């Protein structure tokens, strides 16, 4: 594998599930829930576009910083992140993912609102698909996007994880 580009990866275990963190050239390109189907699709896309291979148990400075910030987030002490991110996808996907970064901690928006925010109000389904393809969960908070009726819909980590994250951020709005 010498001479090959590498995506350094490390698992991160949270109370609500296991994430895989990935770093490429000093930027976080992966923070994905370890769920079989979704995670495999994300891995294939990253490998293909970056022309890189995954290498486990390598820890870079970005992964270490991401780990510390996730610890603080799950302890309720962090509401924003300052990790350099690398979005790997189409121009449209990157546009949607960039807009996810603007959704404030403890709030939610609908897929319809997200579509309006990127100037494509008729592209609700495409926006939902792009949000679902997000490979940098939590840092690009796709869990904060809900259905128009405020229902919890689709999430790479599963709806139980989405609900747990929303409860962490806004316990009064998302109580059992």
Catalytic residue among 16, 29, 31, 142: 142
Q: CA 99: distance to chain centroid?
A: 12
Long-range contacts of 35-42 (CB under 8 A, 24+ apart): 35/156, 35/157, 35/158, 38/156, 38/157, 39/156, 41/133, 42/133, 42/135, 42/156
16 noted as active-site residue:
no
Give every CB contact of residue 36 below 8 A, 6+ residues apart in sequence. Answer: none
| Residue 111 · residue 144 · CB < 8 Å | no
- Which residues are annotated as catalytic? 142
């Amino acid at each position: 594998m010498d001479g090959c580009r590498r995506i350094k990866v490390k698992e991160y275990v949270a109370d609500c599930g296991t994430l895989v963190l990935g770093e490429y050239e000093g930027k976080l390109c992966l923070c994905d829930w370890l769920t079989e189907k979704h995670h495999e699709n994300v891995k294939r896309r990253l490998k293909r576009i970056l022309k890189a291979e995954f290498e486990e148990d390598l820890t870079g400075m970005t992964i270490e910083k991401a780990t510390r910030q996730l610890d603080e987030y799950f302890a309720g002490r962090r509401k924003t992140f300052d990790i350099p991110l690398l979005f790997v996808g189409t121009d449209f996907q990157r546009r949607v993912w960039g807009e996810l970064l603007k959704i404030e901690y403890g709030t939610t928006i609908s897929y319809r609102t997200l579509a309006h925010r990127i100037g494509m109000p008729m592209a609700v389904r495409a926006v939902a698909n792009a949000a679902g393809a997000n490979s940098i969960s939590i840092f690009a908070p796709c869990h904060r996007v809900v259905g128009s009726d405020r229902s919890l819909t689709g999430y790479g980590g599963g709806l139980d994880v989405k609900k747990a994250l929303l409860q962490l951020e806004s316990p009064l709005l998302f109580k059992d």
